Structure 1
Amino acid sequence: MIYIQIRFKLNPDTTENREILVAMLSDLAFESFDESEEQIMGYIPGESVDLEEIEAITTLLPFSVATENEMIPDKNWNEVWEKNYFKPLLIGNRCLVRAPFHTEFEPAEFELVIEPKMAFGTGNHETTTLIAEQILNMDLAGKTVLDMGCGTGILGMLASLKGAKTVTAIDIDTWSFESTVENARLNNILNLEAKLGDASLLGTETFEIIFANIHKNVIVNDLPVYESVLQSGGKLYLSGFYTYDMPDVKAKAESLGLIETGFQEKNNWVVYAFSKL
């Protein structure tokens, strides 16, 4: 798949303005966002990009946004990540996430080796870290786990290392599916099944734990499906959205009979937990 990197330069460039920009763009088909001191970079599948729609959104903002775009071929993603200095990451002081090319790192209780490609979920983003920290504090021994929007498979693989009985990892993006398969093999995770698709793949199989790290609109739309495959007494952890999106997510979840059990926040990103009676 060919991706388009769109670079956004803001004036004035403030943390609040960056959050507003990402929130306004999150309803589009962007797979992920990255930041540098100078700009925000958004990555969107080439067949999904609509530059006129993006421009229409940015012109409505109360600050100026200059954009540049560049086609990124598949073969360049490892190089892109290496150039962006993807460094070993320690999550919760217990889980080390690193790339195969890393040679200097401190050992940790859990270790995941990730081939850094386009797929969202190398652990550096707040939403991935938030859910990973939840997993580290869970007793997953013998549990059935669903990882929706699996990205590189990091959350599902960590759940396996924490003792999950089976893990089903689903993503609509081909890169993500292939990355999860490759990374599971790389980490010798044998009880993880990766699937290419969306919530329509979910049928009669049920789960005790569900993670969904996707855009808010997708989560709200798919919540009825998640509720239907979540076992009684099961736990649902939702992320991929901001704290100000929580009322919409809560309203939909509670309309389905799910019970709010708490949340954690980092830089205005949130993981929102619910249970099923």
Structure 2
Amino acid sequence: MYLHTLTLNIGSSLHSFVLDTGNGSSLRALDHSDDQELAKSLHRMERPTLPLWMKKEIAKYALQPDALEEALSHGWAHFSIDHSNDPDVPAPDALKKFQFRLYSTILTIWTLYRDHTEDLQQEQSEAFYALRVWNALVDGLLKNVPDIKILRGERCSQSSSVRKNEDRDLESKKALGRRIDGIFISRKSKLEFGVIEGNREREGATGTKTLMDTRKLAKLLKDMMNHIFQASLKLDQLSTKIEMVGMLQSSLRVDFVSLDQIQGRFSLQFHPLRRTNAFSRFYYW
């Protein structure tokens, strides 16, 4: 793997100790011992999943357009579901907050689709998708999670800046962090733990900009992960449990890129986790 990395451009993910599972040439460079360690790491951490009660809450909006519009007109309390047999259901007040936030998000997206159907079917600016579509979906739902804050607009990552200035002294100028379209940050600790990169075009999984942005996300997530490790007092426990997630928002589609720790300084990048269309149920009925 080391010899293979020496043949790659300095911008490659491997130079940042990130092994991309979607990169065939890098995987072929692994020897037998590397393969064993990789296989062990793939099964070490459980993949994230939604609780049953939350899946039911989301699935209840899977209605035909006319039926959905009629149901939304009755308010959020109209969508009632029995969760008496579901495990890990939150307290009644917390459940109501989630139900109201989900209803508000679906209503916003439905109104956008109803009033701007033709605009959505044509190519728009990156700002249009970020503010009108993904802001409603992502930011709207995460308002229910008090410790998560999304910093939108192109900005520099603090984690990236920390890595770039590790050896800085007073004689050198402070380097800015890598620029990104959105950053997930903890309100309490101020640590960064997720990123968003936008693109107005739908290039597909093998498009040049898609591949470059995916690599950009992985390298930035690696900086964030290392920054969290540096700030943690329980590194041994944290390194096997933490997982970083980035969102690549291309027009009305989003790819999720996941990064976790393998061994030593190496991280494993899953590319992509899944692809979602913001208006798939409206467009493809």
TM range (shorter): under 0.3
Normalization by structure 2: what TM-score?
Answer: 0.27
Q: Report which of the two has the higher share of strand.
A: 1
Task: State the TM-score, normalized to the length of structure 1.
Answer: 0.28
